[in-house]
Amino acid sequence: MTHHMLGKVLYRRYQIVQSLGAGVFGQTYIAVDIDHPENPKCVVKQLKVTNFHPSHLETLRLRFLTETETLKQLGHHNQIPELIACFEENERFYLVQEFIEGHALTAELPTKNNFSYFWNENEVIKLLMDVLEILHFVHSNGVIHCDVKPENLIRRVSDGKIVLIDFGSIQPVDFGTDTELPIYRIPVTSLGYIPPEQFIGQTQLSSDIYALGMIAIQALTGLTPLQLQVDPRSNEIIWRTQETEVSDYLTMVISKMIRYSHKNRFQTAAEVYQALQQIPEYIYTKTVEAEYTIVETVDSQNLANGKNGVRKTSPLLTGVKVGLVANSLVMGFGVYSLLNSNTPAPSETDTLYKATEDFQSGDLNGAIAKAKSIPVTSNVYPEAQATIEEWLSQWQIAAEQYKTAENAVSEGRWSDVLKVAPIVPDILYWQTKTDRLVAQANRHIEVQSKTLLARAYEKAGAKDFNEALNYLNQIPKNNSTNPVVELKVAEYTQKRHVRAAYILQQAYKKATNQDFNAAVKYLEQIPEDTSVYATAQAKLIEYTQKQRFVQGEEVAMSTAQTSNLTRNQTSTNNSFINGASQTRLQDLHPGDFMQEVNIR
């Protein structure tokens, strides 16, 4: 709980006024500096302490002092928050940093639910070069940020520049490979931006480059990393489609930033920056020209299909384009009205209108009777006859679909009810009846969905992401849990891949200690549809062979020992037999022999 911190004054100077949330490494607050005449805002981070043993605190204290020196150095950059103070109070460690007035990049990026504005190439290149300059400075100071994501990129109000925040996850460039990322405690918002090698403790400079490349893809496509497809053979991200209008050169640059293997990526921020500087000038001019020629090239057919022929540009320009096209459509309707000036008599039009009302309310026969009453000489007559035929056809379809929905309700097939509902023709009478069945189905589906979701949570808590996904996939679509389900499917899918990589790493460790039995058991747990499955299968064959070789040596040793034991036992038995042969038959008791008894 963090509410007890509100109003508290730390270091006799920094008064907590708001909680910003908790992360893996601690709690973050907004505070005001009451010792300063203007009471400026600042960010206070309370580092998490899990062990208060004196020796552990001393180790943590030394590490805290070391890392704060790094943060002080990083704060010299204009686009990284300045470290104002660091102190220890009541065996708690605190960092005080500059407060950046602005908004996170998440507010600017397009999303799956809002495709109204995709970034153009100029905007993406400017973002990349802006952040790459910051990363170059960070990496030059011997650290890796490790958590580059839209939430940690702030658009500063004062000058519109991007500021990189939250260095709570930083690692030294040369940190050991024994460090494993706590994959089950990292924020969901970091998943997808974190590259594969970071989960197994092999973070590189290019790990930050990978994350930045994923942000660029989101700006161009509106898809978050977890919504992108992965090539099952190469493990590479599939992001460029026919709808993604981006030059081949920029595509090449971004694709190299996000290679699955860190060895195949750009190795430094400077390399990416230099590659972007080589982009031909025609890309810029082409983009600008497209913004001004799009209004002239758009046609009504593309508008009807929801396509503009080229990428969407700024919201302001988009508004102008839509306004111009809309005006042309209004003029078209005006021409149509002039050409058809021979309008029918109001009474006949009213008759057809009233007939339509009857049809919508459920009185099919009454509607047909009214429509048939329109004289043959009326201009409305052809339309009325065509309308009657359409009514008969639509009514039959609606009745059949409603009957199908009724049967689904009686059999408890609630999802099928939802599938039928959109097929019911646009007749108010039948749609009202169908809506009642849909409401009934939704109530049952809500209960069923919440039950399945709870089971998925339970399985995910036990790290059984395969079974958790199985439950999520059983949840019907189009209910209130779908946004959560969609997020959890993406999250658990990613965590399943991460857990598979973690299990593979454990197998490697067991094999290193010659424990091939345990290594094989780990490998057998890796699901087939994960990115490391092919590697796991190859290692499974290798470790199984080694396991058999070790077992063969053990069997050979056991056989040799058994052979020696048998020879000794045989010698002992021979001595016993030789001794027994000296025993006289008359010395044995009659009861020592089996007696045959005849029964008459």
Residues involved in catalysis: 147
167-198 exposure pattern, b = at least 16 Cβ within 10 A, e = fewer: bbbbbeeeeeeeeebebeebeeebbbbbbbbb
Sorted by sequence, the CB contacts under 8 Å of residue 287 that are 6+ apart come out as 120, 121, 122
Other residues' Cβ atoms within 10 Å of the Cβ of residue 208? 27
Each as own residue / partner, the long-range contacts of residues 240-248 (CB below 8 Å, 24 or more positions apart, any chain) are 244/220, 245/310, 245/311, 246/121, 246/220, 247/121, 247/279, 247/283
Give the H/E segment covering residue 44: strand 41-47
Pairing of strands 26-33, 162-164: unpaired
DSSP string for 293-359: HHHHH--HHHHHTT--SS----HHHHHHHHHHHHHHHHHHHHHHHHHT--PPPHHHHHHHHHHHHHH
Does 433 appear as a known binding residue?
no
What amino acid occupies position 537?
Answer: Q
Between CA 398 and CA 378 the distance in angstroms is 30
Cα separation of 226 and 472, whole Å? 16
CA atoms of 80 and 405, how far apart (whole Å): 59
Of 174, 203, 167, the closest CA to residue 75 belongs to 167
Angle in degrees, CA 343, 346, 349, rounded to 5: 85
User: What is the DSSP annotation of 87-132?
Assistant: EEETTEEEEEEEPPPEEEGGGTS-BTTB-S----HHHHHHHHHHHH
> Between the CA atoms of 254, 258, 259 and 260, what dihedral angle is there, to the nearest 10 degrees?
-160
* Collapsed DSSP state (helix, strand, coil) of residue 547: helix
Q: Which tokens hold the place of 221?
A: 């496509």
Please report which helix (H) or strand (E) contains residue 484, including its range.
helix 482-512
Q: What is the CA radius of gyration of the chain?
A: 37
Question: Strand pairing of 41-47 and 83-89?
Answer: unpaired
Q: Which residues are annotated as a binding site for ATP?
A: 45
Q: Which residues are annotated as a binding site?
A: 45
